[in-house]
Amino acid sequence: MDTYYPDLIRNVESFESEENKWKLNAHIVNRSLESHQIPNKLHIQVRKLFFAIIGAQVDFRTVNLDILMLSGVVIAIAVATKLLGCGLPSMLFLKNKTAGMRVGIGMISRGEVGLIVAGVGLSSGVLTGDVYTTIVLMVAVTTIITPIWLKMDYRKEVTAVKTDDEWNLVE
């Protein structure tokens, strides 16, 4: 782990476009901030910068029904593969269906590394703008639905009932 960032920093120079250098540098700063005791507000600002750089490459004027349908299919596959690929093995190892599904739900979110790889693919011409937009939409949707779904799942487990000005927990 100690050699990860210096190697990445040396390899930044090998990226062809300035665009990719910005993305990789933003990712390196973000990961560095996560691993050190940096004030949370600064970390949030760097994260916003990273996602702003990524989002600036998406041309939302080109989003049409075909891209939305493709995005829906990709999102469904992304959710299903994380639920099956992480949730099922977790159920087996934890011997608990609820805990295993929570692991699968928690893994649904796709993140920064996928966006960086997609950005490199777009700038190198391997991906089209439509495919890149689909990937960005998938990352955004899975990032948004994961905490919502987890919150709903935990809410099912413990229901709070108010009686006589007291909270009684019912399982």
- Measured in degrees and rounded to the nearest 5, phi and psi for residue 108 equal -60, -40
Residues 22-65 pLDDT 10s: 566 666 666 655 555 555 666 566 667 777 777 777 778 888 99
Residue with tokens 């990860």: 4
For the segment 111-128, the average pLDDT, to the nearest whole number, is 82
The answer, yes or no, to whether residue 115 has pLDDT greater than 60, is yes
With both helix axes pointing from N to C terminus, report the angle between 4-12 and 18-35 in degrees, rounded to the nearest 10: 160
Distance CA 80, CA 102 (A): 13
Tell me the residue type at 129. G
